[in-house]
Amino acid sequence: MTKCNDHRFFFDWSCHICKEEYKNLKGTNEVHIENQNKTNIEKDIKLKSYKEFNEERAKKLFEEIFLQYLKKGHMSEEESIKRSKIIIRRQCEIRGIKPWSWI
């Protein structure tokens, strides 16, 4: 089964590997174009309703997420940092912002 290493927590309809993974999970050889269009429309609507996401706010969110992962206690500091950065990158992607160099 094909798995996308870039998009582990969601399907990106512009990614060929994600489409293949989706088809395999659904057991079909056809991805419905209607679903893609609906997802793109929802993405556009959501993009407009998000608050401003600047670098200062991203750093604060990163710190909060990092501390939450550490409090759980079942993962290392390195893994906590890695997962926190993935979340910040996703937030940048949702808003159409280029991620900062520290991410």
Please give the Cα distance from 99 to 59 (Å, whole number): 12
**Does residue 103 fall inside a structural domain?**
no
83 within a domain of the structure (yes/no): yes
Domain count, the chain: 2
Cα–Cα nearest to 93, from 15, 2, 3? 15
On whether residue 101 sits in a domain, the answer given is: no
Q: Kindly state whether residues 44 and 71 are assigned to the same domain.
A: no
Q: In this predicted structure, what is the pLDDT of residue 96?
A: 84
Cα separation, 82 vs 56, in Å, equals 19
| Per-residue confidence (pLDDT) for residue 42, from 0 to 100 | 59
Per-residue pLDDT of the chain (103 residues; tens, 9 = 90+): 567 777 777 778 788 788 887 777 777 655 555 555 556 655 655 555 667 788 888 899 999 999 998 888 788 888 999 999 999 998 888 888 888 888 8
SS3 9: coil
Residue 35 token pair: 């679903």
Residue-level pLDDT at 46: 54
Tokens of 99: 């991620």
Structural domain that includes position 34: 1-49
Whether residues 44 and 11 share a domain: the answer is yes
